[in-house]
Amino acid sequence: MSYELYYWPTIQGRGEFVRLALEEAGAEYVDVARGPNGTRAMMRLMRDAEKPPFAPPFLRSGDLLIGQTSAILLYLGAQHGLAPKDPAGGLWTHQIQLTIADLVNEAHDTHHPVGVGLYYEDQKDEALRRAKEFRQSRIPKFLQWFEEILDRNPSGSDHLVGADLTYADLSLFQVVEGLTYAFPYATAAALRKTPLVAALHRAVAERPRIRAYLESERRIPFNQEGIFRQYSELDG
Amino acid sequence: MSYELYYWPTIQGRGEFVRLALEEAGAEYVDVARGPNGTRAMMRLMRDAEKPPFAPPFLRSGDLLIGQTSAILLYLGAQHGLAPKDPAGGLWTHQIQLTIADLVNEAHDTHHPVGVGLYYEDQKDEALRRAKEFRQSRIPKFLQWFEEILDRNPSGSDHLVGADLTYADLSLFQVVEGLTYAFPYATAAALRKTPLVAALHRAVAERPRIRAYLESERRIPFNQEGIFRQYSELDG
């Protein structure tokens, strides 16, 4: 059985966290909205499903339709061994994922502080102010938290949780990718102080399935429509 | 065994979603930071725990320390029958909770669009712009989504999931409380178009344990330090 992933077809966005888990799992999936009439099918499900997702991404797995990135990863983690089987380990993995989701939200808001309904150009002054706080205070604080978790992991510092890869590791890889794209100077400075985070980011990129994915057409390049955007003025 | 809840002692905030679940469950818990030296104990755990939470609220349950509101509710829901036992129902409840968390984030950002490190007074112009979009577009959109879910629930429209109360119902109650406090006109207008949401809000308030809680000293009143704040200029 093949999964169906529904997400905006031209950006990495929040869908990318799901794509990375599916790719690492070697799962069969269709990225529906990238195919013919896919976006229409996506909008129809959001309107008509008995359990309509509020927004993309969402995943169809047989009869299940699951929305919210972190809920999708909770499900895929259990299905594909991308999270510990014990409840405490599963919950801790999920807690880390939810914190990554908070960081992703804050990264998004740097270029849209006043509202998603307005263009960047119409909120550029506010974006400059918000981005300053984000890169001076928030990026270091979040990366330092991941560093502490890696440092304190009793199974070793190669992974956020336990001795094996989890979806939280994949998501941390992706958020470092995104921050490096959007805030290259600020992120490089923060990563120099968080060597375990930097090492995990490199290690994930070298995993065979992830590397093959990153080199494939399936990986959409970062661009100015996604969550992570490169406005050099926001990098200080 | 008694739970220990750690959250800022003077606001409802995100901790309130956890308090409501604990209260409805009739669980024993200590709201640690409201006691002597409680805030210091909270800060110490965030710094020193093997699995440090990134931010309050977090919950101690025996050896477990769980951060992130939605993860805490996932755990409490399973422990206290506040979510369906079947995996699909549990996941759907969690998906709704995560969408409520998104709404809570957006509500917070109406008064702090430029950054949490600045005072409201220093970002009031931006707050006016952001609040306008929030009350004209986002409040109606979110409440309409909850209305659809209630309407389509095959077990009846008294609950978001299945035939029984879940933590998602409690959280929807709380978010309606907060929106009504912060945006009384906009929320009343939206609720007139979402009668099932309004009815669920009233029904939760009448549950014996919730009513007793709301009338107790344990319920901290809304105030200008929390997520939901009453700046009349933001209500249009």
What ranges do the domains of chain B cover? 3-79, 87-227
Residue numbers in B near A91 (CB within 8 A): 64, 66, 71, 74-75
Identify the CA nearest to A49 among candidates A63, A39, A38.
Answer: A63
A202 lies within 8 A of chain B by CB: no
Alpha helices in B26-135 (DSSP H): 38-48, 69-79, 87-111, 124-133
**What whole-number distance in Å separates Cα of residue B202 and Cα of residue B24?**
15
Residues in chain A: 236
B114 lies within 8 A of chain A by CB: yes
DSSP secondary structure string, A18-51? Answer: HHHHHHHHT--EEEGGGSTTHHHHHHHHHHH-SS
Q: In what order do the strands lie in the sheet with B58-61?
A: B29-31, B3-6, B58-61, B64-67
Is-contact B21 B170, C-beta < 8 A? yes
- Asked if B117 lies within 8 A of A137 by C-beta distance, the reply is yes
Give the pLDDT of residue B208: 98
Q: Which of B51, B102, B166 to mutate to test the interface with A (most CBs of A within 10 A)?
A: B51
- Asked if B114 lies within 8 A of A130 by C-beta distance, the reply is yes
Q: Considering only residues 26 to 55 of chain A, which have any Cβ-Cβ distance to chain B shorter than 8 Å?
A: 50-54
Q: Please give the average per-residue pLDDT across B92-111, as a whole number.
A: 96
Strands A29-31 and A3-6: parallel
**What whole-number distance in Å separates Cα of residue A146 and Cα of residue B228?**
29
Give the pLDDT of residue A122: 86
For chain B, the straight-line distance linking the first and the last C-alpha, in angstroms and rounded, comes to 48
- Asked if A116 lies within 8 A of B95 by C-beta distance, the reply is no
Q: Nearest CB to A98: which of B70, B117, B154?
A: B70
pLDDT at residue B142 tops 90: yes
CATH architecture assigned to A87-235:
Up-down Bundle (1.20)
Among the four given CATH numbers 2.102.10.10, 3.40.30.10, 3.30.420.10, 3.40.50.1820, the one describing domain A3-79: 3.40.30.10
- Mean of all residue pLDDT scores within chain B: 96
DSSP secondary structure string, A161-197? Answer: STTS--HHHHHHHHHHHHHHHH-HHHHHHHHHT-HHH
The H or E element spanning position B21 is helix B15-25
| Weakest mean pLDDT among A113-117, B78-82, B175-179, B198-202 | A113-117
Per CATH, is B87-227 categorized as 3.30.420.10? no
Distance from CA of B54 to the nearest CA of A (A): 7
Residue pLDDT, tens place only, A92-107: 999 999 999 999 999 9
Residue of chain B nearest A136, judged by CA positions: B117
Q: Considering only residues 136 to 195 of chain B, which have any Cβ-Cβ distance to chain A shorter than 8 Å?
A: 137, 142, 145, 148-149, 152, 154
Give the pLDDT of residue A113: 87
Instruction: Count Cβ atoms below 10 Å from residue A230 Cβ, excluding itself.
Output: 15
Q: Give me the interface pTM, i.e. the ipTM.
A: 0.97
